[in-house]
Amino acid sequence: MKKFFVCALLASLLAAVPAFAKKSYVNGIDPNYPPFAYMDEKTGQAAGFDVDSLNWIAKTMGVEITHKPMAWDGIIPALLAKQIDMVGSGMSITPERSKMVQFSDPYWTVSRVFLVPADSKLTPEDILSQKIKLGVQRGTSEANAIKQEQQEKGYPFELRFYESAPLAVEDLLNGRIQAALMDELPADDAITKGRAVKKAGTHGKPDGFGVALRKDDKELRALIDEGYRKLMADPYWKELQKKYLNK
């Protein structure tokens, strides 16, 4: 018992010396993006596929990663301003973002879908050719892609912007919008939670998700890539998919 306390004391003393302290990193998350990242109502802690993946990687790689909830819209500026060190929160790897940040190797692929009320008859073709209101999450790759497509092709819908995907689902249910475009997993999440919505079909190419890092942060990039390689080779990777993604 005594030995234990001496060891614990020694460990905490050593941790206070910078050279022996565990490296500590802050991951910025959108707390309203289940199943990738959200705040668990029971524990009050960040949870989700990306959060648990990074927690496992931190443990395995001997570093500390904490999760900081923030607005999705300002998450890349926060990364560049060093308020956070990474964004592991369902972020698509896009050419526009890659001009400002670097991405880890992709760890997941998702399709984009149109979500409509359960009793809606709208098809993807209707959504693109009618004067409906279409909801998207502000600052997302799908919002930028559909905005650009609309400019190029003159689609007649009116775009409505939301802080989070669940808020767009609320407005679908109360009839303020007729369809919403989002990643397939948050759409599935709304359906599993019993919201009266359904997928009308996919739109565009699937996106790869990666962890966003500052461009000069080579050390963290290597750590995250190595961490995901280890995670993907571990049975826990399958477990996480079962737990969060119904795979």
Binding site for ligand ARG (CB under 6 A): 30, 33, 36-37, 72, 89-92, 137, 140-142, 183, 207
Decide: 138 and 164 in contact? Cβ < 8 Å: no
* Nearest-approach distance from CB 30 to ligand ARG, in angstroms: 3
* Nearest-approach distance from CB 65 to ligand ARG, in angstroms: 16
Give the residue with the Cβ less far from ligand ARG, 85 or 142.
Answer: 142
Helices 49-61, 235-245: inter-axial angle, 10-degree rounding: 160
DSSP 8-state symbol, 105: P
CB atoms within 10 A of CB 119: 8
User: Which strands make up the sheet holding 37-39, listed edge to edge?
Assistant: 32-33, 37-39, 46-47
Give the residue with the Cβ less far from ligand ARG, 60 or 137.
Answer: 137
Give the residue with the Cβ less far from ligand ARG, 49 or 157.
Answer: 49
* Nearest-approach distance from CB 40 to ligand ARG, in angstroms: 16
Give the residue with the Cβ less far from ligand ARG, 74 or 156.
Answer: 74
Tally: H helices and E strands in the chain: 10, 15
Give the residue with the Cβ less far from ligand ARG, 30 or 85.
Answer: 30
* Nearest-approach distance from CB 58 to ligand ARG, in angstroms: 19
CA dihedral angle for residue 11, residue 17, residue 20, residue 22, rounded to 10 degrees: 90
* Nearest-approach distance from CB 121 to ligand ARG, in angstroms: 27
